[in-house]
Each structure stands twice: as C-alpha cells, then as structure tokens.
Amino acid sequence: MDKPGLASSPMTKTSPKKRIAIYAGSFDPPTDGHLNIIERGLALCDELIVAVSVNTFKTSTLSVLERVALLKEILQDKSQITVTHFENKLLADYAKEHGVHIILRGLRCVADYEYELQMALANKKMAPQLETVFMMTESRYSHLSSSLLKEIIQLGGSGHGMIHPVVERELRRKLKV
Ligand code: ADP
C-alpha cells in the first residue's frame, strides 16, 4: 500500500515526458528501406518526426513538397508520425527547437558508417542532449538507395518490393517513363 502523502509528493512524482525522435533525410524518393527504418523506429519513441531535409549538395528529382506529400500519404494511418520539411537549417537546431531527444538513422554498409559517424559526432558537439540511434538495415533492403531506384525506373524496370506503389507512380510521372 502507498504510504500516505508519499505518492503525491512533488519529489516522487515523475512527469510523463514524451520521447520525440526525428528521422531526417533527402527521401528523393523514399524507399522501402526508409519505410522499414520508420516502422521499426516507432518502437523507440512516442512521437516520430519524419523530416525531408534539403541537401544543398544534391540535385533532386522530386521537389521537397512532392516528397512530403508522398510520405504523408504513405504514413497517414500512423498517428505517432508527423511529416514535415526544413531547409537552410541544421538538423541539430531543428531538433533543439522541436524538443527532440533522438536522431534516428539507418545504416546499410561501411560507406554509410563513415558519413554517419561524422554527422553523429558533429550533432553531438552542437547539441549534446541529442542521441543519434542507428538501426541496421534489414538484409532485404541493404541494397536499396534512392539513386538506384531512380535509375531502375528510368531504365524501364519495376520498383516492386523496393518502393511503395504510390512512390513508383510519382517517380514515373516525374521521369516521364
Ligand atoms: P541523406 O541525404 O540524409 O543521406 P537519405 O534519404 O539518403 O538521406 O537517407 C536517410 C537515412 O536513411 C540515412 O541514415 C541513410 O543511411 C538511411 N537509409 C537510406 N536507405 C536505407 C536503407 N535501404 N536501409 C536502411 N537505411 C537506409
């Protein structure tokens, strides 16, 4: 039985804090590899922000708003997820402004690791309160990248099992194939 007075004491009361994670990327286009990381990442948080971030060093096929619209459509039944975008801003700053605790990232191979390590260390320096959490890709998605998918669709291949049908339709429209 609770001791009288103890349960209501401000010292013993733990305020339930929502754990917010962010999964940011170019998503040009989102692949099933990205969607798998999103699905599994949900288990780590109460809220997941999926953010299309504009990479100034990459030229894109889909506009930012097209990528946001695709992700919103695919993820519409997941109430824990908010899809958004940001540009001209550091992920660390965006995360701080939105009360984020976890940066979620996916890893496919050693080449990913080198880039991701650099990003994680830079983000830790800029925002020490943030933790970057890496999820290994599932083997069936380890070969998937946005650029590979664009090439497959451009050359007349099928995106089945690699991109969502909604994404494939939009990619075909954009690439005029
Ligand atoms: P960025 O331009 O930020 O690298 P991407 O859209 O290419 O954006 O990727 C976003 C994140 O998703 C990165 O952490 C990347 O390693 C991860 N990722 C990309 N493709 C896959 C995949 N097939 N399986 C698991 N993680 C992936």
Residue bearing the CA closest to ligand 1, atom 27:
106
pLDDT in tens, 23-67: 999 999 999 999 999 999 999 999 999 999 987 777 899 999 999
- In tens, the pLDDT along 83-102 reads 999 999 999 999 999 999 99
Ligand 1: does its nearest atom lie under 6 Å from the Cβ of 40? no
Is the pTM value of this prediction over 0.75? yes
Look at residue 13 and tell me whether its pLDDT is greater than 80: no
Residue 42: closest CA among 70, 75, 14, 67: 75
174 touches 61 (CB < 8 A): yes
Residue nearest to atom 2 of ligand 1 (CA): 26
Q: Which of 70, 108, 133, 142 is the pocket-test mutation for ligand 1 (most atoms within 8 Å of CB)?
A: 108
